[in-house]
Every structure is written in structure tokens, then in C-alpha cells.
Structure 1
Amino acid sequence: MPSQAGPPRGLRADRPADFVSAARRNVLLHGDERGFTFVREQRARTGPAAGAVAGPVWGRGYREETLGFAEMDRRARGLARLLEGRGLRDRAVLLLYPEGLEFLTGFYGCLYARAIAVPAPLPALDAERFGRTRRIIDDADITWILTDTAHRPALEEWLAEDGLDGRVRCLDTETESGDPDAWTAPEMGPDTLAFLQYTSGSTGEPKGVMVSHGNLLHNGEEIKRRIGGSGETVGVGWVPHYHDMGLVGQFLEPLYLGCRYVFTSPITFIKRPALWLEMITRHRGTITLSPNFGYDLVLRRVKDEQLDGLDLTSLRTVKNGAEPVRAATLESWNERFAPVGFRPEMWMPCYGMAETTLLITAAPLGTGPVIRGFDAEALAQEKAVLAPGGAARRLVGCGRPVTLDVRVVDPAGGVPVEDEGVGEIWVRGGSVAAGYWKKADETRETFGAFTADGDGPFLRTGDLGFTCDGELFIAGRIKDLIIVNGRNIHAQDIEEAARAVHPAAGAAAAFAVDAGTEHVVLVQEVSTRLARGTALDELAMLIKARVARTFELPALSVVLCGRGSVRRTTSGKTQRRHTRQDFLDGRITELAGHVESGVAALRDTAAEATGTGGAERADVDSAPEE
């Protein structure tokens, strides 16, 4: 039975002005009858989160653990008392957890304490992977890390080795807590900062998006309206909790709606993608979400015999976003999973980003995707021209905004472009975050845009798009971001990592190409003189291995070339888009390299179309010395 106790302390009778009050209304309404269920592998090393109720064991070696709303609320209140006692109100607190239920205690404990949660990936235990974590610690002035029992010793060892012991301490939220009954809700409102969503900022400069309680309430309502969400919604997913899609879509929206959510870890999903479909079947999931690559992985890895017993008829909404949505993926899913109840109208392509909390646009519920073919040359000239046929560039529409003001604007002059004209996507409204933590210049540049006639301020997304029949289509990116498996990676980060591999590595340009899926290409200038006995083929492999490992890139092509191959402006800035075109047109003479087969085929096709004849491989022995 739902809890019959009185209203939780601090709960307002009127419309909630902060996310904690909105969430606690559903705690009161549903108690432990609703909550979060985590599906873990039986052989996983870490035990269940404190307060979690162990559920049934699946036949394939998985166990369910459930944390009800009321129990999570109790644990969050206890942790909040502990954080308040350490003086962490309005201070940033780093959350380093494995996927699972314990993260919920840490995150909501911060919200309840009015501390600023900073969710981040739990780093692998080596110096390279701790680099990003260290930059976040320095940028957010972190003094406390929340984690679980299993990972606290390793984190404390790293802090000591890095000279941070004493300055930064760890708190194990599984075993340490305060008195939940002694908690009183701190004063909070729409402008109160809830958490920092760190993006993969350029090397040494991470950027923390400042998301407020008002942003969470506004975007929560945006999502609710678009998906037709209610307490009867049942979500199923696997996206990591430090990803904006996972954090907001999986761990905040369920408490805003008062619904159940079932999830597993990304690693478990990648090991066995069919588990995702089995979770939907077992729990009669009504909504799920993933970047496009997740749907591609299911298509590649789920065998025909694994379809036996699946039933996807309960689904109403299948969201696809966080990276380019691919028409071929949607169409292949329609065909492959129709026998187990999948219907095309379940698709909900969407568009969003951390700077808008999450959602910007989405297809209306039950309408399915809008797929159109556009002339590729016209798109390059910033004009969307419908071109039905095999040679067209097929794009998937990302729907329409619910209440946000979304414009397509000429980024140079600030003049809104007409329908079917390509420009930068600008956004304003209650979901748009306050800016970047402690970065006033970047905040003004990104969040403070005005149109030529003085309308604003708008968020500049850095994405190129256009509208056609009222539908928003994404055409590319202005900023040098590479999106792989739903993760944003800055091109300059890849280039810096490559240059650090060997003294012979010079200027570089990293970019993405679409070879059916997103592939990363690194064009790397090298000095044959500085190679000093290292074969260039070996150097290419060294660079490829280091970069692929550092950024967890499943597909990476590396091309070594001579000085001057990477395009630069007169002031020395890398021109990645021009270098990318040179690569595709076969104008870059390779000294050595390792190019993925799909990328090589794409390059040969593009070079043939332009009459450049494909890539030229130089004779390394005759390559000019530098």
C-alpha cells in the first residue's frame, strides 16, 4: 500500500518551485510501490545498494534489485544531513559510482542538501583515465567525492598518489548516513542550482553546464507532454547516469512522473544487447531511449533465435537521440522486429543537449519518424532541396518543440533564415541552462546570442539545421564536436592525444565521416626525420591504439602525411572541415596509415565522383625530410 503518512517535510501545497518538492509528492503518493529496478549480472563484483530489495533471479544469470521511492527518499534525507554537517550546501560534490541503485542515493542526497551534484564517469584505475576526473575536481573546486563501498579504497589511493589527499575526501554512501528524520528541506527555488553536467570540453578546459531546479521542472514537463507520460509509464533503459539522456531521462523523469523505471548498465547491455529487449518484454515497458548506436548494436548482435519469447507490443515510445538519427537504422528495426510486435509509429526521433537540460524537439507521440531525401550539394550550399531518389542524402526529422522557442539563424549575421534554409539552431526558454560554471566568456558567447533585430538572448547550439514542413532536421555541426556512441568528443582533444604519442607527430585534424555509422578519422602530419628509426606503419598503429583506448573509439582511421597536409588559416587555426574534404576527395598523400574499410570505400566513392582518383600512397623512402 502507498504510504499514508502526512506530507513530507518541506513539501509545498502549491505548485512546486523546486524539483525536490515535485519528486517528494510522488514519494508520498506511491511510497515503495514504485521505484527503480536495476538488472545486474549475478557474477558482478559489487553487492546490492543499501536499502535495495533483491528480486527474482533470471534464468540467464541476472538478478533484479529494486529501490522504492520511499526508501530512496529516506536514504537521501539521511545523506543530506551528513552533507549539511560537512558544510556542503551550495558546494559542488563529485559523484563517482558504477551503474546501479547507489548512485540514486548520492544524487538525490545532494539535491535534498542543496549541494551541487556533479555526476561523472567512474574512471578506470589508471593515470590516463583519471586525467578528466582531475580536471573536473580542479574546475568545480571539489572537496568531497561520493562513491560506493567497493570503489572507495581505489579512489582514495589515487587521491593520495595525485597529491589530493587531505584536500579531497571520499564518502561511502552505502555505510555512512545521517538521521533522515532530522532533515528539513532547505530553501530552494527555480533559480537554485541543482547539478553540473560536465561536457567533454577542450583539453584542460572542462565545461560544467549549470542546470537549475527550474530547468528540471520545465524540461520534465516538456518530456511529459511529448511522451504522454504518467504514473502508469514504465521506462526501460541502459544509458549511463552521467550522460544527460541517462541522468534526466532515466533517473529524474521517473520521479517527476511517479512511474517505474527498469535499467541495466551499459557494459551489461553491450555484452548482451538482447537483454534490453528482454527487459522490455518482462516488465511491459512503455518507453525506452537510446542513442542511435544502441539500436544499431541490437541489429548487429541479436540473433534470430534470441527473438523467441520477445514481445514489444507494450511499447508506445522509442526515443532516438543524442547523435544523428539514421533512416537505415529505423527502417531495419521496423523490418527485423515487426514479428515481435514493433510498430513504426513507436519511433520518436528527438534532438537535445546538456545545455537545454535535455529535450529540445521530438516527434509527436504516435506519429513515427519523418524521413526525407535532400540534395547533398544544395545542403553544402546551405539550402535544403527535396531530392527523392537513391542519390539523395536521407535525413530523419527530429520533430518540433513543445514550448521552447527554436530558431534557425544565419550564424554570421544573426538573421533568421526562411524555411528550407540551413543555419545554426538557436534556442531559448525555461529549459535552457544558466551557462557554464565559472566561465563567463564562454557563457556569453554560447548562451547570450541576439538576432540582428535585437531579439534574445538565445542559446547557440553549434548545430546546423533547417525546417521543412515545420519539422526540424539536423544537417551538421559548426563546432568541432565528434559524436560517437552518444558521447561528445572535442576534435582538439583527439589531436592533442595523438601528438603526445611520439615526437614525430605534428599538426593534426580529427573529424567524423558517415560510413553507415559515425567513424573518426585522424589526419596526422609527421616528421620523417623525427621518427628516428620508428617505421611509419608502426607509428600509425601506436597513434591509433593510444587514441582509440583513451577515447574508447570502436572505429578509428589514422592517416600519416607530410607537413602542410592539414589545412590551416593564416593565423594557424586548424581547418578541419577543409581537411576532411581533402581526405574524402583523395587529395591527401598518405605516408602510412590504417583506414577502416567502410571509410576507405566512402573515400573512393567521393573521389570518383569528383574525378580526383582516390587516395595516393606516397613512397615512404622518398618522402621529403622536414
Structure 2
Amino acid sequence: MTDLVTHIRSNLSDDRELVFVRDDGTPTRLTFTELDRRARATAVWLTEHGLTDRPVPLLYPAGLEFTVAFLGCLYARVPAIPAPLPDAGAPHSNRVRALMRDAGARLVLTDAAHASTLSGISARVVGPCADPDGWTPPALAAGTVAYLQYTSGSTSEPRGVEVSHGNLLHNLGLFRALTRGRPVRRLAGWLPHYHDMGLVGLQLQALHAGADLVFMSPAAFVARPVRWLELIGRYAADWTVSPDFGYAWCTRRITDEQLTGLNLATLTMALSGAEPIRAGTLADFERRFAPAGFRPTMWNPGYGLAECTLMVTCTPQGQGATVRTFAAAALERHEAVPEPGGVPLVACGPVSGLDLQIMETDGSGPVPDGGIGEIWVAGPSVALGYRGRPEETLAAFHAGDGRWLRTGDLGFLLDGQLYVTGRIKDVVIVNGRNLYPQDLEEAALRANPTAGRSTAFGLRRPDGGEHVILIQEVRRGHSAALGETADRVMDLVTKEFGIPLSLLLVPRGAVRQTTSGKLRRRHMRELFLGGGLTPLHAELEPAVSALLGAGSAHPLRPAEAPSHPWSGHVRL
């Protein structure tokens, strides 16, 4: 078997269904048999319109219509492009137009409710008259492109990763291997279908495993996170997946009253990935939801990326999370030295089904276990490349002897487990020390637990060194309260890391994220330098003020950005 379509159709049954729970709590259902019938009709329509092998963006709200359209594209050998609906105020967004140009798409598919507002980008609704019995299975092979997963743009312009049928079958097989012979029966989640974790880890995983899927919209989860955990209990789900944010959001927002009605005892796997996994998030969630039946053995931390379809490593079922602590000074030298009471890191599971090595960041050679370097991956899950970008594909997907994917992520192997420490481009080097922005951001959160998101990045000084900028969201308040908040954050971060620091306090929502929830650190750096941020309060180190330019029109010119009184506690 070389294609996903044949595998999915082998699971057809009215005993299995997809359930989408609307924001008002009303469930809508679709059996696998009906899903197949509607997908075949969609495939006939696509073929009649001459779209075979032509990419088609899918701009759908959360729900079952996207799943039908995506499967119809697979059935018609049409590379689908899962993408978020543009904001209501910008129906013809630049991102969608750029995506269509990059992929060579001539139209998009959407639902009837959004067709008129998207008419300017050739939006179409699949016609109701296509005959599913007129479907003829296309010629599909392991190397046939199944869909394009556009990267979220956290570090660069979005690029379309070409994922093949063979890539999908292999990666979904890695998920099945995690169960250790106890296949998934029912998945529950809220992740968006245009995110690789939501598409592969939820929707396609259910179709591949022949399992039920119950899901809801991301907006409904964010507005009332208890809904996700209620789905798990109501439908007796045994699998769920989420980034670290989802588990942390539940811990913070679910009330004691809501907790009493939850039942998580049916879970066997709670996957966490897609962003840095914080040991504190896991521990807090365990404590909070133990009364609802959550057990530490349910955790399955993992690591993956779209360029490897989704999963690279993941903790197998029943093993639980491995958290170890490491010497902070050694991590700054790109070495992992276990130390009691040190920096806690969560293991992302063993390597299985793929080849993985840790390489020097310049690609000169491998590093030993415990050495931090770039994560390289090889194997059948590694995607074909970036659509229409041969040079970038060669550099990223054909490193070393030609078969290695350079992930751009930093990590190390220890005792057979992978630990991920950050992105190469995000690391800030201060006085020869390698600092990871997520560590600075986590320290800022500890200093101000009621704050929103934060982001940290480095600015190059004239002497070649870097200075750290931290941007922290806060609620609007009086200037005195903002000053006290700034002092708490500055004191804790500078004491903990021993570095000079410049701080901006900004309103909630000012720290930008990608569509999948990752911090856009490089974009925030550009906004900072370009004067695109209006802070509520700023504490700038003199060298940064000089970089911004004295007397310029920049909103943070020195006259409006007093320096922090260091009080002698900063060790340079």
C-alpha cells in the first residue's frame, strides 16, 4: 500500500464517525461511509474542473466541511493547501494572495457562508450535483504530493512544504507505534485543521487508525477551555493532542466548580508538542486535574515539524514525561550536564522509525551525547521539499550525504531521549554565553504571573555583542503600577541571568504570534527597530537608545525611554 486514500477506504464503516461540536454545544456527525461518499463527489467536481495536480487552498471555518474537502482533494490527486480563513475585516488578505502566487493556485475552495466575501480571490463552493459513483480512483504513488503545508512564518516568509502520500503513511504509522499494541479508539481536540498538529495529529490520525474523532473550534476552546476537557469525558476519548499553551490555559482558567464535573480517566495519551514544553506546565496540570482522573503516565511529550510531516520523536504510551535538570552554565556553553536543582528540561521521547543525529551548527560534524547542536533527521517521513524553491530545498532537505533534513532546531541526545533547547536563529549570545529566549520569557512570567505573553530577542551592539530586549504584555494600569511591574521583571531576570536588559511593557495582544500560536520573535524585533510598537512603559539600556538613534522620530527615542537604575545587581 503506497497511498493514504487506499488505506483510509479500508477503514470505511458506519460504526466510526466524526463529531464536530459547535460553539453552542450542538454536535454534528458524519460517519466514515458518508464522509467517503461526499469526498468522492468532491473529487468528481475537482476533476471535472481540471484541477488534477493543481494546488487548491482550502479556506474553511472549523468543522466537517473542511474534512470533506481535504479528503476530496486526496481522492482527486489535487494537492490541498489547508489555510486559515482571512479575518473578517480583510477578506482578500495579502497572505492568501501571496500563498496563491507561491503555490500557483488559480482558485480556492470555501463553504457557502464565506463564498461571497472571498469572491475576489476566486473562491468556489463545490457543486451539489456531482455524482459520487462517477469517481474513478486516480493513479497515486508514494511520491505523489498529498498536500502543501505552509509553514507558519515564525522565522521567515511562509513556504509550502510538499508532503507526499508516502510521507503521510509513514508518519501516521509512527503514531500507531506509540500505542504499543493498544490502538486509539477515540480522539478529542480543538487544534485548527490548518496546523500540522491538528491536521495530521487529529484528523488524519483518526482516519488512518479507523478511530472516532470529536473536535471543536479553537475559538471555542480559548473562550471556554473547559469545553475541551468536557469533550474528553463526555465521549470517553483516549487520545488528545495540544501544544503546551493548551494545557497551561486549562490550568489557569478552569474554575473549581468546573473541575468537579470533569472525568479524564479514559485518557491513555495526552500528547504535547508544537512549541517548547515546560516542565512547570506538566506539573501544574497534573496537580490541578488529578481529582478528575488525570495521571502522570498519560503524558506523551514529542517533537516534530511540518518538514517531517509532523512527528519526529514522541514518548510512547504509558511511559509518562521524563523531566531532568541541567546546569545552567553548561547549557550556555551548549553542553547538557545533569545537575540537581538546575534548569528543568522535558524529554521529547526516543528516536524510533527515523534516523536522527545532533550536528555542529555549521554542519561540520556530529556532536557526542550531551552536546547541544542542530537536530538533523532522515527517513520516509521527511517531506519532498519546499514548493518552487529548489535552492532552499537543497539546503534544508539534502544536507550531509544528501538525505538529511536540517531542522534549524537545537537539542541534544541523552540516554536515548531527545531534548529540544530552542531555535538556532533565536539564540542570543551575550558575553560568550548562549541564552535561550524561552528561558528569559519564562522568568518574566514568574515575575509577573498575571501578565500575558512575552518575547525576548537580541540586538547587535557596535562592538559585535548582543543586548537582550524583553517585551512583556500587561494589563493597562496607572503609571505607578507599570513601574512596579517593570521593576519586578527587571530585577528577577537580571538577577537570574546576570545580564543587562531592556524592557518594554505593551498592551495585551501586542506580542505577535503565528497562526499556530508560536511567538514571532524576529517580527517583534523588526517592529521594535522600526518603531512599530507603542509601549505603555519602557526601560532602555543606553546602548539600545543609541542604536535607535538620538533625536529620531522613533517612539522610543532616549528622551522618552529612561534607563533602568541597575542598583549594582547586574553582573557583566
Please give the TM-score of this superposition, normalised by the length of structure 1: 0.73
Q: Distance in 2 between the 1:597 and 1:246 partners?
A: 40
For residue 125 of structure 1, report the CA deviation from its aligned partner.
Answer: 2.3
Q: 1:206 to 1:98 in 2, by over 3 A?
A: same
Alignment counterpart, residue 567 of structure 1, candidates 445, 456, 460: 460
Tell me the residue number matched to 1:21: 6
| DSSP-derived class of the 2:11 partner | helix
Change (3 A) 1:344 1:232: closer
Q: Secondary structure at the match of 2:30?
A: strand
Counterpart in the other structure of 2:422 = 476
- String of CA shifts for 1:90-131, please: whole Å, max 9, x gaps: 000010000000001110111000001001001112349812
What residue is the counterpart of 2:20 in the other structure? Answer: 38
Matched residues in 1 for 2:486 and 2:92: separation? Answer: 28
- Deviations for 1:485-515, whole angstroms, at most 9, x for unmatched residues? xxxxxxxxxxxxxxxxxxxxxxxxx976643
Query: Which residue of 1 is the match for residue 466 of structure 2?
Result: 578
How far apart in 2 are the matches of 1:135 and 1:351? 29
Alignment of 1:182-193 (within 5 A): 182-193=134-145
SS in 2 for 1:566: strand
Task: Specify the alignment match of 1:89 in structure 2.
Answer: 52
TM-superposed deviation, 1:470: 1.0
Match of 2:246 among 294, 297, 305: 294
1:411 alignment partner AA: T
Amino acid at match of 1:567: R
Pairwise CA distance, 1:377: 1.5
Report deviation, 1:200.
2.7
Answer yes or no: is the 8 Å Cα contact 2:470–2:501 preserved in 1: no
Q: Which amino acid aligns with 1:516?
A: E
Question: Structure 2: how far apart are the matches of 1:457 and 1:184?
Answer: 35
Partner of 2:206: 254
Corresponding residue of 1:196:
148
Taking structure 1 as reference, are residues 280 and 190 closer, same or farther at Cα in structure 2, changes over 3 Å only?
A: same
Alignment match, 2:228 = 276
Structure 2 stretches lacking a partner, 5+ long: 429-435, 446-450, 472-478, 503-538, 553-572
Quick one: which amino acid aligns to residue 433 of structure 1? Answer: A
Q: Give the secondary-structure state (helix, strand or coil) at the position aligned to 1:41.
A: coil
Distance verdict in 2 for CA 1:202–1:339, change over 3 Å: closer
CA distance in 1, matches of 2:300, 2:483: 31
Query: What per-residue deviation string (whole Å, max 9, x for no partner) do you get for residues 584-604 of structure 1?
Result: 9xxxxxxx9x98988864542
Q: Distance in 2 between matches of 1:518 and 1:81?
A: 54
Find the aligned partners of 2:55 and 2:485 in 1 and give their Cα distance: 44
Match of 1:433, SS?
Answer: coil
- CA 1:246–1:598 in 2, change beyond 3 Å: closer, same or farther? farther
Equivalent of residue 463 in structure 1, options 373, 386, 409: 409
- Which structure 2 residues correspond to residues 217-236 of structure 1 after superposition, within 5 A? 217-228=169-180, 233-236=185-188
Query: What does residue 104 of structure 1 align with?
Result: 67
- Is 1:431 the counterpart of 2:381? The answer is yes
Q: Partner of 2:279 in structure 1?
A: 327
Identity of matched residues, %: 44
One-letter amino acid of the structure 2 residue matched with residue 242 of structure 1: Y
Please give the root-mean-square deviation of Cα atoms over the aligned residues, in Å: 3.1
**What SS is found at the alignment partner of 1:33?**
coil
DSSP 3-state at the match of 1:176: coil
Q: Is the 2:456–2:470 contact (alpha carbons within 8 Å) kept by the matching residues of 1?
A: no
Distance across 1 between alignment mates of 2:439 and 2:462:
22
Q: Which amino acid aligns with 2:35?
A: M
Judging changes above 3 Å, is the alpha-carbon distance between structure 1 residues 618 and 73 closer, same or farther for their aligned structure 2 residues? closer
Q: Does structure 2 conserve the Cα–Cα contact (< 8 Å) formed by 1:198 and 1:209? A: yes
Is 1:396 matched up with 2:346? Answer: yes
Deviations 1:328-374 (A, max 9, x none): 11111111111111110000000001000011001121010110111
Residue 5 of structure 1 corresponds to which residue in structure 2?
none
Within 5 Å, give how 1:88-167 maps onto structure 2: 88-127=51-90, 130-156=93-119, 159=120
**TM-score with structure 2 setting the length:** 0.80
Displacement of 1:467 in angstroms is 1.1
The one-letter code of the counterpart of 1:578 is E
Which string of whole-angstrom CA distances, capped at 9 and with x for unpartnered residues, describes residues 144-171 of structure 1?
2111111111111xx1xxxxxxxx5222
Q: Aligned partners of 1:474, 1:204: CA distance in 2, in Å?
A: 20
Deviations along 1:420-479, whole A, 9 cap, x unmatched?
0111000000000010000011111111110xxxx4420011111001111110111113
8 Å Cα contact 1:556-1:596 kept in structure 2? no
- 2:369 aligned partner, one-letter code: D
2:125 to 172, 192, 198: 172
In the alignment of these two chains, the number of paired residues is 492
